[in-house]
Amino acid sequence: MYLPIGALIVFSFNESKSMAKWTGFSLHWYEQLLQDPSIAEAVWVTVSIAMIASLAATFIGTLAAVGMDNFRKKSKNIMVNFTYIPMVNAEIVTGISLLLLFIFFNIPRGYWTMLLAHITFDIPFVIFSVLPKLRQMDPGTYEAALDMGARPAYAVRKVILPQIAPGIVTGFLLAFTMSFDDFMISFFTSQGATQNLSTYIYSMARVGINPMINALSAIMFIVVIMLLLVINLRSVKRTKKMPRAGSFR
């Protein structure tokens, strides 16, 4: 499954335009990639939307997770099931639905509609990263802080947030990863008015295979892999720090 990606990365260093014959090692296509103003703009759009959407989704998703954790069991189960829908739903359905929503409210498609779509798409991933940390907490911790004289805002900031911080960071990294390489939702909610890297690569591929696509795709693949490694390493470290079942401190 990874063999085509490996071939793409290898031929991004090929001196020739051909992907059928290796003519020599070269960084020519990476140099052209860095000098292309259109690609620079697409990179800025991709990084800025991924960063802003991840921050917004992390803030909203964390508040939503805290609120859902305080629901009664039946209401919590209903909200959790509703939150699963955007994650298991096909992205093309989400993209078309958001497009129809923007058309209905006569909102011009472009950077801001893509940003709103990414925030909406990222929120469930943050919620399901924070909820497990909330479930691991002692339910009486917050009330104990209030009984000791802490104000609600202070108790949340000093008692709850430090305990769920690993889940918040993981949710942010996961949201950034999902937003960074998203194509389907970006394609439908921007309609070519604004292009991120995924939609720009698609438009380049339609007019012919340019070796710069190989270089750009290789960079995107490496960035996403690095983010996923960070997320997995954080999960492994948290698992090792957790006490084993039946153990006593």
Helices (H), ranges, the chain: 3-11, 28-35, 37-69, 73-88, 91-104, 111-136, 141-147, 152-155, 161-180, 184-190, 197-206, 211-241
CA distance 204 to 198: 10
The per-residue pLDDT for 127 is 93
CA distance 133 to 160: 10
> What single-letter DSSP state applies at residue 249?
-
The per-residue pLDDT for 247 is 46
Q: What is the pTM of this model?
A: 0.79
CA distance 119 to 127: 12
CA distance 165 to 202: 37
Q: Measured in Å, how far apart are the chain's first and last C-alpha atoms?
A: 45
Q: What is the mean pLDDT of each run of 10 residues along the chain (249 residues)?
A: 83 79 82 84 91 95 88 85 85 90 91 93 92 82 80 82 87 89 89 83 75 82 82 70 48
The per-residue pLDDT for 249 is 41
Please check whether residue 133 is in contact with residue 67, taking contact to mean a CB–CB distance below 8 angstroms: no
Tell which residue, 87, 88, 120, has the closest CA to residue 188.
Answer: 120
Report all structural domains of the chain as residue ranges with CATH numbers, in order of start: 28-236 (1.10.3720.10)
The per-residue pLDDT for 103 is 92
Please list the residues that pair with 14 across neighbouring strands: 25
The per-residue pLDDT for 238 is 63
Please check whether residue 119 is in contact with residue 56, taking contact to mean a CB–CB distance below 8 angstroms: yes
> What single-letter DSSP state applies at residue 105?
T
Tell which residue, 175, 176, 180, has the closest CA to residue 198.
Answer: 180
